[in-house]
A and B are shown apart, each in its own frame.
Chain A
């Protein structure tokens, strides 16, 4: 922790802002895990609870945003204080978005419980664990102001992208083999896409932490979601 500000109430506000971000992060991670668990257990009620809970993240975002804006207006923060507050503004928007993705996953659960489970779905919990652990670790490096952990978290997006690429291919194959798979496979595809986006946001979050702590940009990472160029597999062989 840095030395305290001469004006103590400024430190209080910074702690308050960090606490809001921490709460949002915990909620975003839990929502992601709960949405995928509802899918796994084919529990539509649990999924609806996840959908309903998203408003809590939205409310926290709005609170964090108002606090950050008033701090910029009233404290005229500079240097690491300025970077921290700007980072908190952006991070709160990222966490809110992660919450939306979790909600969207949960929304698809009732339809999926109507259809028979299909094989590739088993990758989803694995993928969700990877994405949720990225959120958790990105939040840890936010709390600990740890740029090295931030760099490591950002690098882990590769794993989530690999899951997505592999799911994309196998779901495509399932759909081509049997038109009855199209409904569940499409929903699973969107769920996988949501998890992939959650990984991207967790990565951005870690990058924001790195910037906030060091004042440097982490730099471009290679894009490893390559599904945009995948054509339909040839099943005639």
Chain B
């Protein structure tokens, strides 16, 4: 897709946007505890979708349903229907490793592998067989680091350890690692909450640059961040999705009192 059509897609009215993921009546149980109580939402390909809500509201739990990260949590049970391009991701035929390449994830705390910067990015493409030669891999690594806005800072020290980078650089390395396997969706769970304001701004700028190329879903505690980076916002509270809509509308004129009380700082 070229840049022109990307720009057009980003400004297209909602009706013309394409659905990347759909969730219908999703329920998550941790043992007896119902953490998510029937959430339905559409994730559009062109938008950044932000999940906001107080701690424990279920937003991260719900995010982790979108690439079956909850499978790894003992006692967690996911019910309902979640589809990626119309395909049920919880069906028995779904290859979870493949799914997590298509739906990548970036976590709150940067977690580079204790390997070189180059290897951090090359690892995914190698296990997924995306590169036939070293030259292919060089291209993937450079492209991924460029898209993550890190190339200029690390191009002369690709053999250095990823863990030697600053926190903000490590997080962009993790984004480069997610990008390297050509994902369709990138899930970000508080990607900037451990970073200083400048590193945060770089991550936000990066999210904006990646928008349109990947469907992006971000969980954030920082309301201003949600307002800055997203086009759609969903407000979660006590395991339900209280309100979902255009970010501009949610932050200037929310329909639900609970949403208003939360975003204006009148919560609890």
Contacts and interface: CB of A to CB of B under 8 A. Distances in A.
A78 B266 contact: no
Interface in A184-203: none
A52 to B, nearest CB: 41
Contact of A3 (B251, B252, B259, B266): B266
Contacts of A76: 224
Interface in B44-99: none
Contacts of A117: none
A78 B251 contact: yes
A64 to B, nearest CB: 20
Given A3-B261, A83-B252, A215-B252, A78 B267 contact: no
A215 B265 contact: no
Interface string A96-113: 000000000000000000
A5 B268 CA distance: 9
A82 interface: yes
Q: On chain B, which size bracket covers the interface?
A: 10 to 19
Contacts of A80: 260, 264
Interface string A76-91: 1111111100000000
A140 B93 CA distance: 66
Contacts of A3: 261, 266
Contact of B227 (A4, A78, A83, A215): A78
B267 A79 contact: no
Contacts of B267: 6
B265 A5 contact: yes
A6 B263 contact: no
B254 interface: yes
Interface string A2-31: 111111001000000000000000000000
21 contacts: A3-B266, A4-B266, A6-B265, A6-B266, A77-B264, A78-B223, A78-B251, A78-B252, A78-B263, A78-B264, A79-B251, A79-B252, A79-B260, A79-B264, A80-B260, A80-B264, A81-B264, A82-B251, A82-B252, A215-B253, A216-B253
Interface of B: 223-224, 227, 251-254, 259-261, 263-268
Interface of A: 2-7, 10, 76-83, 215-216
